Amino acid sequence: MASFEEEERLVQMVHDFIEPSSPPPPTTTITSSSSSPHPSLHQLEAIIGSSTDGEMEVLQRVVKHLSEMGSEKTRSSNCVKKKRLMMKLRMDGYDASLCRSSWVSTLDCPSGDYEYIDIVMVGGSTSKRLIVDIDFKSQFELVRPTRAYTELSNTLPNIFVGNEEKLNRVISLLCSAAQLSLKERGLHVPPWRKATYMKSKWLSCCQKSLLLCGFQVKEMVKMPNKGLGGGGGGGGGACFSGLSSQFSELSINCC
């Protein structure tokens, strides 16, 4: 009986993390188009809802571990939380790594860096890369969003677990909607709100690190750049596959 109640609580926690606890507050609209649902809303809901059994299993583990860690709000504690979560996922038997992406500045995209977790899932003769981000929804927040964009962004889960193709489609939809929202508000579209910059967070060259026997192992993973310049395409997920990466650096640092 106790195990059944524990499983029921876990399912409820997963639901709470995916779904917002309360409807978003109403926003003042300035155009008639802002008051209507975003045309991509149903498409985004379908993408988010197309989770595999493996993705749902990982999500349940992530929610369980985060619940045990408690709620830590600061930026520094969030970094520690990601490292602890990666270690717990490895203890669960997953091939999890802490990834830090970084990219140089170009004419269309300013430089930046980002940190998330990835898991290599192996099934038979194939394997795929799952991206785990515990701070996903906040990456798409806008200043003075239209009501349509607010409705769209509220569809995003707080915790994202999915493959690169799924993530690529979500980014393309949200960035297109963000540009439309900013233009409707009469605001400039900054380069860090474009798809090229957002995709660089999760789909560019990254340094993967994990803890083995008290040592921190780091490896630099280079991913092909094809597709990072496209802002509207929904495909191209294979272009970012970490499974076809080339390893250029392998170092071991004592923790």
pLDDT at 205: 79
Q: For strand 126-133 and strand 206-212, is the pairing parallel, antiparallel, or unpaired? A: unpaired
Q: What is the pTM for the complete model shown?
A: 0.69
Tokens 């379908």 belong to: 46
**Burial of residue 6 (number of CB atoms within 10 Å: 0-12, 13-18, 19+):** exposed
Per-residue pLDDT, 64: 94
Yes or no: say if 208 and 219 are a contact pair by the CB < 8 Å rule.
Answer: yes
Q: What confidence score (pLDDT) does residue 235 get?
A: 38
> What pLDDT shows up at residue 255?
31
- Please give the structure tokens belonging to residue 116: 């998330």
Question: Per-10-residue mean pLDDT for the chain, 255 residues long?
Answer: 52 52 47 57 92 94 90 63 93 94 83 92 85 95 92 94 95 94 91 90 82 51 50 37 36 33
Contact status, residue 44 vs residue 155, Cβ threshold 8 Å: yes
Distance between CA atoms of residues 137 and 168, nearest Å: 15
- pLDDT score for 118: 94
